[in-house]
Copies of this chain bind each other. A is one copy, B any other.
């Protein structure tokens, strides 16, 4: 059931999800300063979080190797969300951790920090959103402090278990308790948008096509019915 929601979510553009969530009362969902480092194809999954703090020569995190521990424990369809506080001096992802994440079935990585081996990661096929690249590891820049806790990423609160959705426009969070309702609206909206696009392609003006005017609602219903989920059920 969970999987099915993530599957359906992957069909929802961030442009649609952002707007619907705002209309549903949750506005602070889009991470700032991140960009698609690999293909930009859309991914959706549940958040597994990693909280880095700045490196200091005389300090150590409560437990060592937490970043590796998190990646090793990633489940299929999960998305790694990394709070590096915007640090751009040491990579939070390289081709080794990326290979392991990929082999664990990770749906993607979203990081408020930088990555390295970007070509290698692209070749692996892992989808990554980050601030940019830096060729060094983070051993002198960051300390992996906690995992599976509430973090910030790109100025957005991400809780473990939140849905994360990312495509060429942005990476964003989707609160799980709103996901199903939002996705339902988004699926109808996708059909409406397809209908509007068709009208525009044939020369309609904006007011005749988008949003669909009431005079065309009947025509739209005929267009939409076979496209709806479980249409045949």
Give A contacts to B, CB under 8 Å: 13-15, 17-19, 22, 25-30, 40, 53-59, 68, 71-72, 85-87, 91, 94-97, 99-100, 103, 116-120, 133-137, 140, 143, 145, 150-152, 155-157, 159, 167-170, 172-173, 175, 177-178, 193, 196-197, 200-201, 203, 205-207, 209-210
Contact = CB atoms under 8 A, between A and B. Distances in A.
A200 B56 contact: no
Nearest to A56: B157
27 contacts: A15-B116, A15-B117, A19-B136, A22-B136, A25-B57, A26-B57, A26-B58, A28-B57, A30-B134, A30-B136, A54-B152, A54-B155, A54-B157, A56-B157, A56-B173, A56-B175, A58-B175, A59-B159, A72-B206, A85-B155, A86-B86, A99-B196, A99-B197, A100-B205, A100-B206, A118-B169, A119-B169
Contacts of A116: 14-15, 169
A18 B91 CA distance: 12
Contact of A150 (B145, B157, B169): B145
A222 to B, nearest CB: 21
A175 B185 CA distance: 36
Q: How many copies does the complex hold?
A: 6
Given A99-B201, A100-B200, A167-B119, A28 B15 contact: no
Nearest to A114: B169
Contact of A169 (B72, B135, B168): B135
A61 B177 CA distance: 17
Given A96-B193, A100-B200, A53 B135 contact: no
**Lowest 4 CB-CB distances: which A-B pairs, in order?**
A14-B135, A18-B135, A99-B200, A56-B157
A14 B178 CA distance: 36
B134 A170 contact: yes
A108 to B, nearest CB: 16
Contact of A28 (B55, B71, B205): B55
